[in-house]
Amino acid sequence: MMSDHVDGPRSIGDPPADVTDLFAFISPENPVRTVLAMCVFPSAGESAIFSNVIDHAIAVRRVTVAGVGEAAKFQPAHEEIRFSFRFEVLERDAAGNVIQRGTCTLPDGRELSLIVNDEKGASTPEGDVRVFAGLRSDPFYLAVIASDLRRVPNLLQHDNVLCVVVEFDTHRLLNPAAGSLFGAIAETVPARSPAGNVSHPVARIDWVGKPEQTNIRLTNPGLRGAEDIRDLWNQQKPFEISKELQPLFLQRLKDSFADWDMRDGKADWTPEALSANANIFLDDFLLFDVAKPITDESHLEIEKSTLYGRPYQTGGGRTIDANVIDILLTWLVNHDRKFLQGGATQATKPGMKVFPYFAMPNTDLQSVDDCVELAAAADAVWSVIGQFNLDWHPLVAQVRLTGAGTGQLRRIETRDGGEVVERLEEVDNAKRLYRYTLVAGIPACHYTGTIKVTPRGDCCVAEWSVQYQADNQPDIVVRARVATLLKTGLGSLKSRLEVRHDPNH
């Protein structure tokens, strides 16, 4: 469960179209302006770019409270206020730098040109709208295992996403005098193409309203054997869920909420309240009121108050630093009886109070290190692991070498069917050390590995260290893969060279 990250087979197969999150809040640097933002491309690497065949859109409709208590209902208007982004193929600017340009089409038809990753963004001549698009630190954090509510560190630590941000004059674009409550959705829609003889274009790839509709509410891991209906949901038209499919989705929500209620072994919801809750979440859009304060804690307050049958006090919405997972799970599991704090209290980086609000992308190199002490002479150990062919490693099925000395390439076929290509950058037999870099095969960049052997009395220590940045895969996944590589390799030397572990490592 990762907000709207990887929320169905279709979006998993097309990461640039995967909408991960949606935000709506009042600008902390200018309270007369509203900020809407969406993120795509989970675990985006430094080379990630926006798709040039997809429209990225944030749509807003005015909403009225049409019922309270067990009849709680939010009714969206038909008129839509839409901000749509279209991005171009890469090009080079006058200085030779590779850039990506984009265009944001505003609700009134005006077009605003921008350059991806331009920190200043782009503004209309009138100054009423400012937009940004680029790579930023992922503002979402997940620090609980759904199956048993176990607290863990943030599973998205060090991850990045692509973000689009729209900041605008609230009164000019939303006219809150006609009603200050709104619902927002974000979606990715394929560029229009003519229908074929035996097919028709996909309506949309992904969309999100409230966080976790797909990965927690519709695809509850506690519902054993339940079919995955996330792609079916993502094909629905936001604000207008198919009447034919509403019963299917509603029943799934009811079953899911009943299961979440019992996840702590205690029933906190009546059947009637669970049904009302399901009705509220079936109409999936992010509610925000621009006339009331939107804070890090106000997420879902509008829905909760309306279900309780009382006027809401905040602007709801979702700020960049809102703890949406713990807020949602506390509501579902124990009806806000006791706050369920996960194992992290913030994302990798907190949001900023100034435009473009999302923190700079994570660029720090990550490190994985391992070592083992061997009851053997350093030269004897180096004669085994100092060879670039890596044939001593139990995970290696075959290695093909190209070239010799510095610059030599090794093409590794792993026993699980994978392939990794690495280049020798430095070898120093006197110091019993060699350094290599990754060419391909691991979802990482700036990847450098070092293997060395150091004498220690009659024994020696074999060390293996890797530095990297995850690239289009979660850091936690890349780290686990690298750690397994190092641990398995060094661990295999115990039997080969009669080793014993260094108690200090």
Greatest alpha-carbon span in the chain: 83
Which is it for strands 396-402 and 160-169: parallel, antiparallel or unpaired? unpaired
Tell me, what's the pLDDT at 193? 59
Look at residue 31 and give its three-state secondary structure. Answer: coil
List the domain range (segments joined by +) for residue 167. 9-334
Please answer whether residues 60 and 182 qualify as being in contact, where contact means their C-beta atoms are separated by less than 8 angstroms.
Answer: yes
- Which uninterrupted H or E stretch holds 137? strand 129-137
Q: What percent of the chain has pLDDT over 90?
A: 87
In terms of domains, do 182 and 292 share one?
yes
Tell me, what's the pLDDT at 8? 72
Tell me, what's the pLDDT at 499? 44
- Structural domain contains residue 210: yes
The rounded mean pLDDT for the chain is 93
Q: What percent of the chain has pLDDT over 70?
A: 96
- 15 DSSP 8-state letter: G
Mean pLDDT of all residues in 331-359: 97
- Structural domain contains residue 339: no
Nearest to 343 by CA among 156, 495, 186: 156
Whether the per-residue pLDDT at 505 is higher than 70: the answer is no
Q: Which of 334, 358, 388 is the last residue of a domain?
A: 334
Please answer whether residues 165 and 132 qualify as being in contact, where contact means their C-beta atoms are separated by less than 8 angstroms.
Answer: yes
Please answer whether residues 64 and 52 qualify as being in contact, where contact means their C-beta atoms are separated by less than 8 angstroms.
Answer: no
Tell me, what's the pLDDT at 12? 74
Please answer whether residues 196 and 204 qualify as being in contact, where contact means their C-beta atoms are separated by less than 8 angstroms.
Answer: no
Q: What is the distance between the alpha carbons of residues 215 and 198, in angstroms, rounded to a whole number?
A: 32
Mean pLDDT of all residues in 364-382: 96
- Structural domain contains residue 204: yes
- Structural domain contains residue 272: yes
In terms of domains, do 204 and 283 share one?
yes
Place of tokens 């990630």: 48
In terms of domains, do 187 and 319 share one?
yes
Please answer whether residues 212 and 256 qualify as being in contact, where contact means their C-beta atoms are separated by less than 8 angstroms.
Answer: no
Query: What Cα–Cα distance (Å) separates residue 188 from each residue in 55, 144, 173, 184, 193?
Result: 6, 28, 22, 14, 15
pLDDT tens-place string over residues 307-321:
999 999 999 999 999
The number of beta carbons lying within 10 Å of the beta carbon of residue 184 is 26
| C-alpha of 55 from chain center | 19
Q: Which of 334, 357, 388 is the last residue of a domain?
A: 334
Q: Which of 334, 353, 376 is the last residue of a domain?
A: 334
In terms of domains, do 277 and 231 share one?
yes
**CATH number of the domain residue 411 falls in:** 3.30.530.20
Which is it for strands 396-402 and 91-92: parallel, antiparallel or unpaired? unpaired
Mean pLDDT of all residues in 377-394: 94
- Structural domain contains residue 128: yes
In terms of domains, do 379 and 243 share one?
no
In terms of domains, do 171 and 281 share one?
yes
Look at residue 3 and give its three-state secondary structure. Answer: coil
Buried b (16+ CB within 10 A) or exposed e, 400-427: eeeeeeeebebbbeeeeeeebebbbeeb
Whether the per-residue pLDDT at 396 is higher than 60: the answer is yes
Mean pLDDT of all residues in 169-197: 89
In terms of domains, do 264 and 404 share one?
no
Whether the per-residue pLDDT at 385 is higher than 90: the answer is yes
Mean pLDDT of all residues in 429-452: 97
Mean pLDDT of all residues in 134-163: 95
Tell me, what's the pLDDT at 367? 98
Look at residue 369 and give its three-state secondary structure. Answer: strand
pLDDT tens-place string over residues 169-181:
999 999 999 999 9
Tell me, what's the pLDDT at 40? 97
Whether the per-residue pLDDT at 500 is higher than 80: the answer is no
Confidence of residue 194 (pLDDT cuts 50, 70, 90): low
Q: What is the distance between the alpha carbons of residues 321 and 128, in angstroms, rounded to a whole number?
A: 25
Tell me, what's the pLDDT at 501? 47
In terms of domains, do 63 and 115 share one?
yes
Whether the per-residue pLDDT at 503 is higher than 90: the answer is no
Any residues with CB less than 8 A from the CB of 331 and at least 6 apart, and which?
300, 304
- Structural domain contains residue 305: yes
Q: What is the distance between the alpha carbons of residues 494 and 491, in angstroms, rounded to a whole number?
A: 6
In terms of domains, do 409 and 274 share one?
no
Domain count within the chain: 2
- Structural domain contains residue 346: no
pLDDT tens-place string over residues 268-318:
999 999 999 999 999 999 999 999 999 999 999 999 999 999 999 999 999
- 24 DSSP 8-state letter: E
Query: What Cα–Cα distance (Å) separates residue 100 from each residue in 50, 116, 133, 325, 331?
Result: 8, 6, 10, 33, 42
- Which uninterrupted H or E stretch holds 26? strand 19-26
Whether the per-residue pLDDT at 1 is higher than 60: the answer is no
Looking at per-residue confidence, does 498 or 139 come out higher? Answer: 139
In terms of domains, do 330 and 377 share one?
no
Confidence of residue 147 (pLDDT cuts 50, 70, 90): confident
Cα radius of gyration (the chain): 26
CA torsion through residues 291, 297, 298, 299, sign: positive
Structure-block tokens of residue 234 = 């993502």
Whether the per-residue pLDDT at 450 is higher than 80: the answer is yes
Whether the per-residue pLDDT at 462 is higher than 90: the answer is yes
pTM: 0.92
- Which uninterrupted H or E stretch holds 170? helix 170-174
pLDDT tens-place string over residues 32-85:
999 999 999 999 999 899 999 999 999 999 999 999 999 999 999 999 999 999
In terms of domains, do 324 and 402 share one?
no
Tell me, what's the pLDDT at 28? 97
pLDDT tens-place string over residues 75-105:
999 999 999 999 999 999 889 999 999 999 9
Q: SS3 sequence, 104-140?
A: EECCCCCEEEEECCCCCCEECCCCCEEEEEEEEECCC
Please answer whether residues 208 and 185 qualify as being in contact, where contact means their C-beta atoms are separated by less than 8 angstroms.
Answer: yes
- Structural domain contains residue 343: no
Q: What is the distance between the alpha carbons of residues 326 and 303, in angstroms, rounded to a whole number?
A: 16
- Which amino acid is residue 441, in one-letter code? G
Whether the per-residue pLDDT at 192 is higher than 80: the answer is no
In terms of domains, do 375 and 313 share one?
no
Nearest to 214 by CA among 281, 276, 272: 281
Confidence of residue 495 (pLDDT cuts 50, 70, 90): confident
Tell me, what's the pLDDT at 196? 58
Instruction: Tell whether omega for the bond before 194 is within 30 degrees of 0, i.e. cis.
Output: no
Alpha carbon dihedral 191, 194, 200, 201, in 10-degree steps, equals: 0
Tell me, what's the pLDDT at 224? 87
Q: SS3 sequence, 229-293?
A: CHHHHHCCECCECCCCCHHHHHHHHHHHHHHHHCCCCCCCCCHHHHHHHHHHHHCCCEEEECCCC
